[in-house]
Amino acid sequence: MLWRKFNGDTIHLPIKDAVSQAIKRETAAGHKLKVCIGTDSQVKGKETEFATVIVFLREGQGGFMFIHNEKTLISYSIKERMLVEVAKSIETAYELCNLFTQYQVEMEVHADINTSPNFKSNEALKEAMGYILGMGFAFKAKPEAFASSSCANKVVN
């Protein structure tokens, strides 16, 4: 998987190594970190693009993120697409969770799913919440899921 920084620079290390280096660098600088992982998607014609982000928040000091974009020609219903977004976030969280435990970094998985039943994405809320919580991760949905609804949303082409 190819990851990049927000400025477009490619991350040449495996993502686990890049995240480990980032945690070490930030904690050495005295920052208390929290990490939020989320995915958003956009459908354009026959193509669906997903953007997964790892957002590092420095308590009271801003933050930064790593980004992975992926395109597919698979056609999804809205519910399926929301659950694929969640699966991509969980895959990333699962790969990195031992690092977060090792360095005592709080981590949340954010789902771009609306908690209001007036929105179509709400159809996937129960399954997404069960999936994320069942994996042992903290869960946030809209409007608190900024990693997916704001950060990933900005970098999905």
What is the predicted pLDDT for the residue at 1? 81
Phi and psi dihedrals of 46, rounded to 5? Answer: -90, -5
Mean pLDDT of 90-111: 97
What is the predicted pLDDT for the residue at 123? 86
Could you tell me the pLDDT band of residue 120, with boundaries at 50, 70 and 90? Answer: confident
Q: Which two tokens stand for residue 6?
A: 């927000």
Considering only CA atoms, which of 84, 65, 64 is closest in space to residue 74? 84
CA distance 92 to 44: 24
What is the predicted pLDDT for the residue at 140? 95
Kindly list the domain boundaries of the chain, sorted by start residue.
Answer: 3-155
Mean pLDDT of 75-91: 95
> Residues 19, 95: contact at Cβ < 8 Å?
no
Average pLDDT across the chain, whole number: 94
Considering only CA atoms, which of 36, 33, 35 is closest in space to residue 58? 33
* pTM exceeds 0.75, yes or no: yes
Could you tell me the pLDDT band of residue 154, with boundaries at 50, 70 and 90? Answer: confident
Could you tell me the pLDDT band of residue 67, with boundaries at 50, 70 and 90? Answer: very high
How is 98-135 classified by DSSP, letter by letter?
HHHHHTT-EEEEEEEEESSTTSGGGGGHHHHHHHHHHT
